[in-house]
Amino acid sequence: MSEKQRRTATEYTHQDLERVKMFSDAVFAIALTLLVLELKIPDDMHLNDSSAMWKGLHEMMPQFKAFLLSAVLVGGNWISLMNLHRIMVKVDFFFLADLVLYLVIISLIPFCCELIGKYPENPVSFIIFGGLCELLVINAYFFIRHCRLKHLFHPEADLQEVQFLEKSLIVVSILLAVMIWIAFYSTNLSFFLFLVYNLIPFFVTRKLK
């Protein structure tokens, strides 16, 4: 292959990666927008009466909590994906297919938010939310492992840190299974644990370089 052909192939790869980043950002932005749309003011709320408004807002507390839980999950996953993209130099078919699956799972977060907002005392709401988190972790494990084995990361990327991240995801998957089980006994505790868990993606990939 000539130097010109190699340069063209490299530019094409970088172009693909940029398109992947833009597509991913768009899905995350839409997911956050849909979460906000779930915060609906009740039709029977008396907006001109202060006490009635406070009462109505208090009744909306489950929706606010569900929004917080889901928004943190979306934000944390976006940061993790951005940190991964930062050390990537090329893509392949499996990468694209796995990313599409990952974004499909992300797009289901508003549905889980609505479930928790409407049925905050039903453990099934948190079980479904936990199941979605589990799918994200499993997807991330195979995604990162594939990128490492197929040398999709930058040659100077810290692969030891990448492997540590892979092992950490296995532990996280086990912890999620325990948290899902806890939902059967206490939805309030389950909410707290999932909220703390959703903060993990904000920090877990920050050392990737």
Q: What is the mean pLDDT of residues 30-45?
A: 84
What are the tens digits of pLDDT across the range 85-95?
A: 889 888 888 99
What are the tens digits of pLDDT across the range 48-57?
A: 778 877 887 8
Cβ neighbors of 200 (< 8 A, separation 6 or more) are: 76, 172
Could you tell me the residue range of the domain that residue 51 belongs to? 3-204
- Interatomic CA distance for residues 32 and 54, integer angstroms: 25
pLDDT grade for 42, boundaries at 50, 70 and 90:
confident
Query: Which three-class secondary structure state does DSSP give residue 153?
Result: strand
pLDDT grade for 47, boundaries at 50, 70 and 90:
low
Give the total residue count for the chain. 209
What are the tens digits of pLDDT across the range 175-203?
A: 999 999 999 999 999 999 999 999 888 88
Give the relative orientation of helices 3-37 and 109-118 as an angle to the nearest 10 degrees: 10
What are the tens digits of pLDDT across the range 111-134?
A: 999 999 999 999 999 999 999 999
pTM over 0.75: yes
Higher-confidence residue: 80 or 209?
80
Residue 120 in any domain: the answer is: yes
DSSP 157: S
Give the chain's end-to-end CA distance (angstroms, integer): 30
Cβ neighbors of 5 (< 8 A, separation 6 or more) are: none
Residue 209 in any domain: the answer is: no
Helix (H) or strand (E) holding 31: helix 3-37
Domain count within the chain: 1
Residue 174 in any domain: the answer is: yes
The pLDDT score that the predictor gives to residue 45 is 66
